Amino acid sequence: MKIVFANSAWVSAAERLILRDGSWQKIRLPVRYGLIIHPRAGPVLVDTGYTPHAISGAQRGAALRFYGSALKPELIETGQPVQVLARFGLTPQDVRAVVVTHFHADHISGLALFPNARFIANDAAWARLKTKTAWQNLRHGVFPELFPNDFESRLDGLSSMEQIVSRGDTPGGADLFGDGSVIAVDLPGHADGQFGLLFAQMKRPLLYAVDVQWLVKALVETRTPGFPASLLAEDFAAIEPSSAVLRRFMATGGEVMLCHDPGPTEYDLTPEGG
């Protein structure tokens, strides 16, 4: 099984907003997404990163237009899913599944690109999303126009999958491919139903913890940012317990990777070629 991560876009934020007692200096942050090439499940994406759909798509509602102009993500042409897949001799039609870790725009923006993909997501969170008003979803950074119309019929919910129990400080969760190679670990706090992916069978186990924190530093130094980050979190009180799960996993030798941390990792593709 091969795992790589690409950077779809740069966003920037004052460090203080994402690191308690950080500086006011702006830092540039990547928006990662992953590509797993699984021997049986085939090419599977982990989220889609930011694509033009969230930033310039014609069908965007007013709120998404505002969001795009306020955040001003700078898309990286060579880091877009179509280009990254091409580096592996693949097209969007070849993608068999997209794992949707949570429903924020920078994770689901490109779902419409993959006509043959199943969507592996937290079905309980999807059911809750459907009962919310447009305004409630908006407040939590969820833009319904980014979901393909047939999202639900292509949904493979975590609740229908075999659950692997946690062992010691190694967390458990839904076994995505039925072979223990990729386990969906619940990581509440940042967004409703957010889960990370544990690659438990690697020499050094890897847990892709998505948006539990923005910075690894905030995680290892226990510097969860307070206000105003607390306003944006789905469940602010759950961020610290989720962070503690990650710290325990790291203490046993596991590696934790985040979507937006600017530090390079061994799984990151180089911007071009390579």
Q: Which is nearer to Zn ion, 50 or 199 (CB)?
A: 50
Q: Which of 50, 154, 70 is nearest to 110 (CA)?
A: 50
Please report how close the Cβ of residue 223 comes to Zn ion at its closest, in angstroms.
Answer: 19
Q: Cis peptide leading into 264, omega within 30 of 0?
A: no
One-character DSSP codes across 29-80: EEEEEEEEEETTTEEEEE-----HHHHT-TT--HHHHHHHHHH--EE-GGGS
Give 220 or 232: the residue with its C-beta nearer to Zn ion. 232
Q: What's the min distance (Å) between Cβ of 194 and Zn ion?
A: 7
DSSP string, 113-143: G-TT-EEEE-HHHHHHHHHS-HHHHHHTT--
CB of 260 to Zn ion, least distance (A): 9
Contact 160, 124 (CB under 8 A): no
Piece of the chain touching Zn ion by CB under 5 A; list 4-12, 68-76, 206-214, 240-248 = 206-214
Binding Zn ion (rule: CB under 5 A), the pick from 211, 229, 233, 245 is: 211
Q: Closer to Zn ion at the Cβ: 147 or 177? A: 147
CB of 146 to Zn ion, least distance (A): 13
In the complex, residue closest to Zn ion by CB: 104
**What tokens were used for 195?**
């889960």
- Give the whole-angstrom CA distance, residue 103 versus residue 107: 7
Q: Measured from the CB of residue 30, what is the shortest distance to Zn ion in angstroms?
A: 13
The contact mask relative to Zn ion for 95-124 (x = CB under 5 A, - = no) is ---------x--------------------
Burial pattern 180-207, b for ≥16 Cβ within 10 A else e, equals: ebbbbbbbbbbbbbbbbbbbbeeeebbb
* Site size toward Zn ion, by CB under 5 A: 2
* Residue 261 within binding range of Zn ion, rule CB under 5 A: no
Stretch that binds Zn ion, among 17-25, 54-62, 116-124, 204-212 (CB under 5 A): 204-212
Q: Which residues bind Zn ion (CB under 5 A)?
A: 104, 211
